[in-house]
Structure 1
């Protein structure tokens, strides 16, 4: 089992290395893409953070204003109750009201309704202030959640851009790597026509021009071999085999170069 895991890990490692045909070139330009992605992500994060901060600041101001309104409303209710109590005491002392219980009852009923109305208004204000405070708390929690989620998304985006950069540069590095190998072969005298690039690789036209050059060199060498064959044929019987051997060796070397 351990051997199987090791072989699997080796395949993944080789597969990743296959994408890094030219580490200096690929990592350099992938690094540029990652830096640009980080800069854009940071700018986007700052903009969103400032926007959410402004919203939360405005919400907190609304909460403070609501609490101030509630406090003043409570003061108004207290003052109203005090005024009603003073008026009630004066009514008790007033002989006109004292001798007229119905009038005093009417005042008490009106004062009671006034107190109930003020109490209801106070309760509504307190409920509204409580809702504003709860909304402000929820906004702060949502901003924290959004910050973590946004950070995770941006990190994933940077990693994906880095991976995409390696894959995209691999499509350029692959043809370059292949042409460098064939150029070395041509320099060593081997004129083997290169196989076609993989589907999706870049530099296709440049590689086709290189392949056409190799084909032209092969045709030229094939023509020279044909001329050499004619020369050897005309010299046979006129020169000794020992004299012809250097030409035959040259012909063999030229033929071997064609693969």
Structure 2
């Protein structure tokens, strides 16, 4: 007859106690998520501030370029009114150089603004990706770590139920890396003590049976003692046909 509790666990069943494991895994993920959210807010504000400064610099550069163009136009008109061709040529060269410099400054500022905006989007994308990846990793780690605690507890509970029915033969051990080894060792010492006590009782029962046979006890009494002995021995020798592995 197969063990009715054997199918309840499998070696690859990571959620042995879903309520306990998911509770503490959720707490772990929640704390880390809160810290990441706080850092994300700080980094996001910094990135937004840099983008705002870049926008302001671009606006100022555009305004400076417009003012330069207006001033250049007014200067040209004034020189034209003077009728001095040589002065007009010199002024035109200077004004053209000034306009080119203002346009170059504007393009540089606009390029910096585009780079800052790209960096800001990249930062937010990295934060989102890192948050999702870290959440997944922490969830897996939380389930794995709590399984190392829940697995031994579940195994000890199952073995306690078995010992409670009088079956004192325990051959199972914890998996490598499981926690609560001291508790499991204490449980094993308890089973060994119970087996020693049961063995002593069987020896006492055997002596009683021999005395009963020697004194001519009734067959009914002897049969009852033999049945009792068989039940006691059964707890020391019987093994389940199928054991579940946590």
TM-score category by the smaller chain? 0.7 to 0.9
Q: Does 1:88 find its partner at 2:83?
A: yes
Q: CA deviation at 1:183?
A: 0.9
Q: Over alpha carbons, which structure has the higher Rg?
A: 1
Q: CA deviation at 1:111?
A: 4.1
Distance 1:169 1:143 in 2: 38
In structure 2, runs of 5+ residues without a counterpart are 1-8, 238-246
Distance 1:159 1:24 in 2: 18
In structure 1, runs of 5+ residues without a counterpart are 1-13, 90-107
Q: CA deviation at 1:42?
A: 2.0
Which of 208, 215, 221 pairs up with 1:243?
221
Q: CA deviation at 1:117?
A: 2.0
Q: Does 1:142 find its partner at 2:119?
A: yes
Matches within 5 A, 1:25-104: 25-88=20-83
| 8 Å Cα contact 1:182-1:194 kept in structure 2 | no
| 8 Å Cα contact 1:34-1:158 kept in structure 2 | yes
| 8 Å Cα contact 1:194-1:211 kept in structure 2 | no
| 8 Å Cα contact 1:60-1:136 kept in structure 2 | yes
Report the TM-score when normalising by structure 2. 0.84
Q: 1:51 to 1:239 in 2, by over 3 A?
A: farther
Residue 195 of structure 1: aligned partner: 172
Distance 2:39 2:216 in 1: 85
Residue 181 of structure 2: aligned partner: 204
Q: CA deviation at 1:194?
A: 4.6
Q: 1:22 to 1:127 in 2, by over 3 A?
A: same
| 8 Å Cα contact 1:193-1:215 kept in structure 2 | no
Asked which structure has the greater RCO (Cα within 8 Å, sep 6+), the reply is 2
Which of 139, 153, 158 pairs up with 1:181?
158
Q: CA deviation at 1:65?
A: 1.3
Alpha-carbon RMSD across the aligned residues, in angstroms, is 2.1
Distance 1:171 1:35 in 2: 21
SS of equivalent residue, structure 2 residue 149: helix
Distance 2:220 2:31 in 1: 70
Moved over 6 A (4+): 14-17
SS of equivalent residue, structure 1 residue 150: helix
Residue 116 of structure 1: aligned partner: 93
Q: 1:15 to 1:148 in 2, by over 3 A?
A: farther
Indicate the structure with greater helix content: 1
How many residues matched?
Answer: 228
SS of equivalent residue, structure 1 residue 19: coil
